[in-house]
């Protein structure tokens, strides 16, 4: 059954605007640095951080933000001012959250899987499984127990990050990643971390619980470069540096691709023609239009490949296999795009990237 026949009112307005404006002017973006000097994906010395990777969040291997804070105090200080941190203290008190819990029969926000996946960091300890914080360092970088020591070992007691040899650095990165670290130098991996939750891929949570079907105005640049930005590495913790124009361009396009990927994943979960499925399919169609509008300016072959994948799918109920396969293919192409297309080649998109006054 097609899911786009009956669009909710907000989506009808969005679709009308997309037609009138060519789609592109509705796009807003996200991001951290240009890939210009990075080896292309697939070369012997390719940056291992450009490889596809899932977030490993085994609660038995979660160590908590306090262990990151020892070296990343500035980053943690920023995080403590964000909604990702505050949700741990406030979400269970919100009337709308309590209504959702009541409808779903949830007794504890910090124990139910429908909530913990996107609102909490879970750890298994002597007292069993428990939420130890909101969305935190390990939610995006992976449970750190197995990789933390490797991550900050630069090759000797007197060797620093600045004096580490290129060979040791490459080996350290590979070992960290093999142990479960997710280092998001590749902007598409950044985008995936965000859209994985901001599309709310849970049909029952939306249709039965009444949870919103995702952050419909979510856009990577505007949502990541304001309150959440924590670019301290290059300044040794002294300055939360704005992302370069090249990085912002990459983030902007990566966000559009990820929006399409995760909208397809959500649509794949739809089994009834209700709010969840209709919104997910509408969002996928909108994302594809935005990406096509961007491609009309950029003329990047990989974007053509992504749009071709989307063109071959049907946004309909109970079509999980086809939609998931398409999302998987788009994910692979998105990672390759971020690894091989530098921001210097995306200048045509510059006028459409949200300016600082629109960053959240």
The string of pLDDT tens digits covering residues 180-194 is: 998 878 999 999 999
Last residue in a domain, options 125, 148, 178 = 178
Q: What is the model's pTM?
A: 0.87
Residue 131 located in a structural domain: yes
2 DSSP β-pair partners: 316
Q: Are 221 and 28 in contact (CB under 8 A)?
A: yes
Does 152 score more than 80 pLDDT?
yes
Query: Do 196 and 273 belong together in one domain?
Result: yes
Residue 243 located in a structural domain: yes
Query: Do 335 and 196 belong together in one domain?
Result: yes
- Position 54 scores a pLDDT of 77
Max Cα-Cα span within the chain: 65
Query: Do 326 and 228 belong together in one domain?
Result: yes
Query: Do 171 and 193 belong together in one domain?
Result: no
Range in 41-55, 85-99, 128-142, 179-193 with the lowest mean pLDDT? 41-55
Query: Do 170 and 125 belong together in one domain?
Result: yes
Does 285 score more than 90 pLDDT?
yes
Query: Do 36 and 76 belong together in one domain?
Result: no
Number of structural domains, the chain? Answer: 2
- Position 1 scores a pLDDT of 67
Provide the H-helix boundaries in the chain. Answer: 9-21, 65-69, 73-79, 83-90, 95-104, 113-119, 137-141, 148-151, 166-178, 187-198, 203-207, 220-224, 245-268, 275-298, 301-311, 320-340
Query: Do 75 and 131 belong together in one domain?
Result: yes
Last residue in a domain, options 178, 210, 236 = 178
Query: Do 165 and 57 belong together in one domain?
Result: yes
User: Using CB atoms within 10 A of its CB, is residue 111 exposed (0-12), middle (13-18) or buried (19+)?
Assistant: middle
- Position 233 scores a pLDDT of 84
Residue 99 located in a structural domain: yes
- Position 212 scores a pLDDT of 96
Last residue in a domain, options 158, 178, 198 = 178
Locate 81 and state its tokens: 């001012």
Range in 28-32, 59-63, 93-97, 263-267 with the lowest mean pLDDT? 28-32
Query: Do 57 and 36 belong together in one domain?
Result: no
Confidence band, pLDDT 50/70/90 cuts, at residue 45: low
Helix (H, G, I), strand (E, B) or coil at 201: coil
Confidence band, pLDDT 50/70/90 cuts, at residue 90: very high
Q: What is the dihedral of CA 174, 180, 181, 184, to 10 degrees?
A: 90
Query: Rounded CA gap, 63 and 269, in Å?
Result: 32
Helix (H, G, I), strand (E, B) or coil at 128: strand
Query: Do 131 and 271 belong together in one domain?
Result: no
Query: Rounded CA gap, 186 and 49, in Å?
Result: 7
Containing domain of residue 83, as a range? Answer: 48-178
Does 244 score more than 90 pLDDT?
yes
Tell me how long the chain is: 360
Range in 192-206, 224-238, 263-277, 301-315 with the lowest mean pLDDT? 224-238
Residue 2 located in a structural domain: no
Helix (H) or strand (E) holding 324: helix 320-340
Q: What is the mean pLDDT of the chain?
A: 88
Residue 127 located in a structural domain: yes
Q: Are 353 and 218 in contact (CB under 8 A)?
A: no
Q: Are 281 and 298 in contact (CB under 8 A)?
A: no
Query: Do 191 and 173 belong together in one domain?
Result: no
Query: Rounded CA gap, 173 and 129, in Å?
Result: 30
Query: Rounded CA gap, 122 and 106, in Å?
Result: 17
Q: What percent of the chain has pLDDT above 70? A: 88
User: Shortest CA distance to 290 belongs to which of 358, 218, 207, 206?
Assistant: 218
Residue 142 located in a structural domain: yes
Q: Is 64 left (phi over 0), alpha (psi -120 to 50) or beta?
A: left
- Position 47 scores a pLDDT of 81
Query: Do 113 and 194 belong together in one domain?
Result: no
Residue 245 located in a structural domain: yes
Neighbours of 239 (CB within 10 A): 11
Residue 4 located in a structural domain: no
User: Using CB atoms within 10 A of its CB, is residue 236 exposed (0-12), middle (13-18) or buried (19+)?
Assistant: exposed
- Position 32 scores a pLDDT of 37
């Amino acid at each position: 059954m097609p899911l786009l026949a009956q669009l909710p009112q907000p989506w009808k307005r969005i679709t009308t605007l997309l037609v009138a404006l060519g789609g592109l002017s509705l796009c807003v973006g996200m991001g951290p640095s240009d890939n210009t000097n990075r080896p292309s994906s697939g070369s012997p010395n390719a940056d291992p951080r450009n490889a596809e990777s899932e977030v490993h969040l085994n609660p038995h291997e979660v160590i908590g933000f306090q262990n990151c804070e020892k070296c990343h105090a500035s980053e943690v200080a920023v995080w403590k001012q964000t909604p990702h941190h505050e949700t741990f203290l406030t979400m269970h008190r919100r009337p709308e959250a309590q209504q959702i819990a009541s409808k779903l029969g949830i007794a504890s926000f910090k124990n139910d899987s429908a909530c913990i996946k996107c609102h909490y960091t879970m750890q298994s300890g002597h007292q069993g499984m428990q939420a130890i914080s909101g969305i935190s360092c390990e939610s995006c970088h992976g449970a750190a127990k197995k990789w933390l020591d490797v991550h900050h070992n630069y090759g000797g007691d007197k060797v620093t990050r600045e004096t580490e040899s290129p060979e040791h650095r490459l080996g350290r990165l590979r070992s960290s990643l093999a142990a479960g670290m997710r280092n998001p130098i590749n902007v598409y991996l950044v985008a995936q971390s965000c859209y994985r939750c901001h599309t709310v891929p849970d049909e029952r949570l939306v249709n039965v619980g009444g949870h919103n079907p995702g952050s419909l105005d979510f856009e990577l640049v505007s949502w990541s470069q304001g309150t959440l930005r924590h670019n301290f590495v290059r300044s040794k913790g002294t300055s939360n540096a704005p992302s370069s124009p090249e990085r912002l361009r990459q983030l902007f396009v990566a966000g559009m691709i990820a929006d399409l990927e995760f909208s397809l994943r959500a649509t794949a979960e739809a089994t009834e023609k209700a709010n969840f499925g209709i919104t997910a399919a509408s969002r996928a169609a909108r994302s594809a239009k935005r990406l096509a509008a961007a491609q009309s300016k950029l003329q990047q072959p990989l974007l053509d490949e992504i749009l071709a994948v989307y063109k071959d799918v049907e946004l309909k109920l109970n079509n999980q296999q086809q939609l998931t396969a398409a999302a998987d293919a788009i994910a692979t192409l998105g990672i390759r795009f971020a690894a091989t297309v530098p921001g210097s080649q995306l200048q045509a998109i510059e006028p459409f990237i949200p300016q600082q006054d629109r960053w959240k």
